[in-house]
Structure 1
């Protein structure tokens, strides 16, 4: 299976390119790519970012300005069955969680496997089947870039990160689950993540 780092955003709240921000001795893009490699995935970067080619192969968006759903569409156009997606700005996500996410895909066979934290879906850190591609393309053609609307009504595995983490004996994770999904969107977010 391929893994894709979603790195096509504009980083407007950060004020500079998030992918190239240093975090604990590595750039955020390096951290994300290494995370995918560490769980046995073939890493790629989804987004029109030729400047990031030195970190992993790039899959260019099929439509400009389509947001994360556009990156997911382009990535799924380049896989045979399914792909795991990871935003570039989740530096506290542990590899053990991605392994668990991949294991769930094999158990459920769902078109979308999406974690929730505090009841909120995290659709940019998920696994999507290529079977979603026609729905995604149709939504983007209508100007709808909302990932959760695309999967509504489909066989979707929405699972609670907290419940799964609690059920895992000797999970051995360095931080509580609510910190795993700390998005680094601003300089303050980056500072907080660095001390977590």
Structure 2
């Protein structure tokens, strides 16, 4: 299965107060950390909702579903079978998302932005976005996607979340020190 990785990064970051994709954790932008974690798990990676990358579809301001919609259409047009979507603010993605999610459709129960979605759902999401329901969880249910359990995945919504994660990072031994 050809899999397109989609980093959903078109949000307004209201709770964060500035563009959280650009926020730094240990000197590295959150979005760069996410791209680095996603790249070995997929055949290609695209940013959604920001330049360079795909604009949200049909327009910005509709939440993560508009980024997912852009990714699904891009995937279908370029021969990908499915999209693995992730948010730009989850700097420690599991390295085994495919094993957790299977072939899809499926999403992480606690973080429905992380999901695997067949590219064939592109037109269906176009229709869905004409309504008022922008919930990724409800979209998942409408497609028959399964909600999968996963270990907790850090998600940054506020500067305090970032600060707490940075402090937690400093208290953890480096991976080679854990052996």
Shorter-chain TM-score: what band?
0.7 to 0.9
Question: Is it true that 1:156 corresponds to 2:145 in the alignment?
Answer: yes
User: Residue in 2 aligned with 1:113?
Assistant: 106
Question: Is it true that 1:140 corresponds to 2:139 in the alignment?
Answer: no
Alignment: residue pair count? 161
Shift of 1:133: 2.0
Question: TM-score normalized by structure 1?
Answer: 0.75
User: Residue in 2 aligned with 1:8?
Assistant: 10
Question: TM-score normalized by structure 2?
Answer: 0.82
Structure 2 CA distance, aligned partners of 1:193 and 1:41? 29
Cα displacement string for residues 11-59 of structure 1 (whole angstroms, at most 9, x for unaligned residues): 1111111011111231011111111213243111010x22xx2xxxx01
Moved over 4 A (4+): none
Please give the root-mean-square deviation of Cα atoms over the aligned residues, in Å: 1.7
Shift of 1:190: 0.1
How do 1:61-80 residues align onto structure 2 when only pairs under 5 Å count? 61-62=56-57, 63-80=59-76
Cα displacement string for residues 135-193 of structure 1 (whole angstroms, at most 9, x for unaligned residues): 321121112211222232543222222xxxxxxxxxxxxxxx22x2x221111100111
Structure 1 CA distance, aligned partners of 2:139 and 2:94? 27
Question: Is it true that 1:183 corresponds to 2:179 in the alignment?
Answer: no
SS of the aligned residue for 2:74 comes to coil
Q: Which runs of 5+ in 2 are unaligned?
A: 169-179
Structure 1 CA distance, aligned partners of 2:56 and 2:149? 30
